[in-house]
Structure formats: structure tokens, C-alpha cells
Amino acid sequence: MQFCQISHFKFYFIGMITDVVKIFLPAVISFCLGIAIAPPLADYLYGRRMWKKKSGKVDLSGAATPIFNELHKDKEVGTPRMGGVIIWLSSFITIITIWVISYFLPSEFSVKLDFLSRKQTWLPLATLIFGSLIGLLDDWLEIRGSGSHLAGGLSLRKRLLIVSLVGLFVGSWFFFKLDVSGIGLPGGGIFPMGPFFILFFTVVTVMLYSGGVIDGLDGLAGGVFATIFSAYAGIAFFQQQIDLAAFALVVVGGILAFLWFNIPPARFYMSETGTMGLTMTLAVVAFMTDKLGGGYGVLVLPVIALPLAATTLSVVIQVLSKRFRGRKIFLVAPLHHHFEALGWPAYKVTMRYWVIGVVFAILGVILAVIA
């Protein structure tokens, strides 16, 4: 009996080590690839002057934002956009390379390392690439169209429409293909939604995308997204969704490579090709760690992604206050720019967001695994 227990423990320990290697090694590869991709990408972006030709932005009504424009009058011109390419390109190359090696040069190690699976990673990978390419198009249009006015690129209405359509498609995939019609509750319960699940998924996707405006200070978005995806990697690992955990950490590896060059002073900005792909993919990952993983990854999303939630909420509060009260709550929205307007140095805002993000990500993981 004792021998059997020792053998069982040894088998379990070896399996756990294999899983740990499977989720962390691709992340390291993705980081290294991102570091390698960055210099030629930077040369390309600087050589073709891939930045806004006029600083500043407009609000949702199309009016100028004088406080923001004063704070950032020297920051947006001369620094390229499209830095988010590092994130999704390094992630994609890592995933596909490991799959190709496991397919054409199969071995015990390469087959175990492969995590491109229909059940767990096809959908988030497709969402990441599609969203990132749409964001890349928007960045290119904004660069091309920002010479004569502030609002280049796809309009907010068009971007929200695209994100909504993607949300409807992916939500329908969850509902019809994966038989998901509700979200998990603590204790193993399910909150049923029926066909309204598709609409709920779409709303969550749009809300996460709206939080992408957190990409406004050097290093801010990169640190926040790396923390969020790391938290969901931990939840997926706990649920034994090893392929999904590996995918989330591959994305983290790409984000950290981008962050290496985005720490102040930023070499380039993440922009839409980063935020659109990441926010839509985050929605998919959160729902993958919900009913499909036997947990409630959606319910803890506002905790884990608190910086994104606070960013979106601050914009909503500001808009509603200006509309119904005729005055602003914040000096400028989103919230991180309000702190900047109060006189906080940008690096202090960024690092405090990182600290808050890590604390609440840990709290979210705890909540996700204790019940």
C-alpha cells in the first residue's frame, strides 16, 4: 500500500512539473521573440513616421479636451503607435512554432509542450489575431488621417460596432457550439440566461474594450494587462485547463516584451492593435474559466480587472454628470488622467495602478479558487 502511495505521488509530481514547464516555457519564448521583434519594428515605425501628426484628442461629443491636450501636448507627436504588434505577433509565432514542431517533429516533449487545442485555445487565439488586425487597421487610418484633424482612424461608433459584432459571434459560439447558457456561481451553481447569454457576452466584451482607454500613460496598459492575464492563467491552471493557462502566459510574455520598450520614456505606444485584441481576448478567457472550467471566472472579472473597470466607470460617470448636472466630476476622464491633472507624475500614477492591479488580481484568484 505504501509503495502504491509513493508511486502515485511520484506520478502526480512528474505530471505537475510537466504542466508547469508547458505553461511557463512558451511564455519565456514569447518574451524573447518580442524582444527580438521590437528593434526592427521600431526602425520601421520611426523610419515611416508612424505617429499622430497632431497631438490631442476629442471627447465622445467631438469637442476638444483642453486639459488632456495640455498635459500631453508633447507626448503623442514623435512616438510611433502600433507597438501592440509585438504582443500578438510574438504570441502567434510562439504558438504556431510549437505546434509545427510537435506535428512535424513529434517527440514526447514536443507533443506535451503543444497547447494549440480546439477545446481550449483556438477560440481565444482567433479572437486575439482578428481583434489585433482590426486595431492595426484603425491605427494606420489614424496615422494617415491625423494630419489635418484630431480624430483620425475608425470612429468610436464603428469600433464599438465591430467589437459588438465580434462579441455576438463569439457569444453565439459559446451558446451553440460549447453549450454555455449561463455563468458560474460560487459553490458550483449556475445562473441560467438562456439565449440572453449571447447578449450578456457581447455587453461584457464591449465593456472590457471600453476599458482599453487605460492605454494613456507610458507603461500603464502593459503592466495592467500582464497582471490580469497572469491571474487568469493561475485560475485556468487550478481548473486543469493547462492549454488555456499556457495561452494566457504566452500573451503575458508578449506583453512583458512590449513593456520593456514602453517603460518611460516609451519607445512606442500599444494603441488599438494592442488594446482591441487584448480586451476582446480577455472576455473569451474569462468565459473559458467560467462554466467550461467548472468555476466562475466571469464573476471575479470586475475584481481581477479592477483598473479597467474603474477606467470605464470614470468615463461613464463623467459623461452622465456633464449631461445631467452640467458639470464634471473629474478634472479629466479617464481616471488616470484625473490623477495626472491633480499633479501626480505619470510614473507615480502608473506604478500605483500596477500595485492596485496586482493586489486585486491576487484577491480575484483567491475568490475564484476557494469555492
For residue 47, give the amino acid letter. Answer: G
Q: From first to last of its 371 residues, what are the pLDDT tens digits of the chain?
A: 554 555 554 545 456 788 999 999 999 999 999 999 999 999 999 999 998 776 656 555 555 566 666 665 666 678 899 999 999 999 999 999 999 999 999 999 999 999 999 999 999 999 999 999 999 999 999 888 754 444 567 888 999 999 999 999 999 999 999 999 999 999 889 999 999 999 999 999 999 999 999 988 999 999 999 999 999 999 999 999 999 999 999 999 999 999 999 998 899 999 999 999 999 999 999 999 999 999 999 999 999 999 999 999 999 999 999 889 889 999 988 999 999 999 999 999 999 999 999 999 999 999 999 87
What is residue 201's DSSP assignment?
Answer: H
- pLDDT (tens digit per residue) in 303-358: 999 999 999 999 999 999 988 988 999 998 899 999 999 999 999 999 999 999 99
Given this model, what pLDDT does residue 63 score? Answer: 55
> What whole-number distance in Å separates Cα of residue 241 and Cα of residue 293?
7
What DSSP assignment string belongs to 173-197? IIIIIS---EEEETTTEEEE-TTHH
245 contact partners, CB below 8 Å, separation of at least 6: 23, 233, 234, 236, 237
Residue type, 52: K
| Nine cell digits for residue 256 | 512583458
Contact 152, 141 (CB under 8 A): yes
- Match 464599438 to its residue by C-alpha cell: 160
Q: Name the amino acid, one letter, at 74.
A: D
DSSP state of 33: H
At residue 149, the pLDDT reads 45
pLDDT, tens digit (0-9, with 9 covering 90-100), for 167-215? 999 999 999 999 999 999 998 899 999 999 999 999 999 999 999 999 8
Return the HEC string of 271-320. CHHHHHHHHHHHHHHHHHCCHHHCCCCCCCHHHHCHHHHHHHHHHHHHHH
Give the residues across from 184 on adjacent strands. 190
Q: Which residues of 97-107 are buried (b: 16+ CB within 10 A; e: fewer)?
A: ebbebbeeeee
Q: Are 335 and 311 in contact (CB under 8 A)?
A: yes
- What's the rounded Cα separation, in Å, for the pair 56 and 321? 23
Q: How far apart are CA 287 and CA 166, in angstroms?
A: 15
Comparing CA positions, the residue from 136, 61, 25 lying closest to residue 333 is: 61
d(CA 335, CA 20): 37
> What pLDDT is attached to residue 147?
45
What values do phi and psi take at 241, rounded to 5?
-90, 75
The structure's pTM equals: 0.92
Quick one: pLDDT at residue 195? Answer: 96
Of the candidates 142, 132, 194, the one whose C-alpha atom is nearest the C-alpha of residue 163 is 132
Cell numbers that stand for 158 in this block:
464603428
For 196-271, where are the alpha helices, taking DSSP H only?
196-210, 220-238, 242-262
Sign of CA dihedral 336, 341, 345, 348: negative
User: What DSSP element (H or E) covers 111?
Assistant: helix 108-113
Residues 6+ positions from 25 with CB-CB distance below 8 Å:
113
Q: Among 200, 164, 162, which Cα is nearest to 291's?
A: 200
Q: How far apart are CA 339 and CA 6, in angstroms?
A: 57
**Cis upstream peptide for 265 (omega within 30°):** yes
How many C-beta atoms surround the C-beta of residue 238 within 10 A?
A: 16
SS3 64: strand
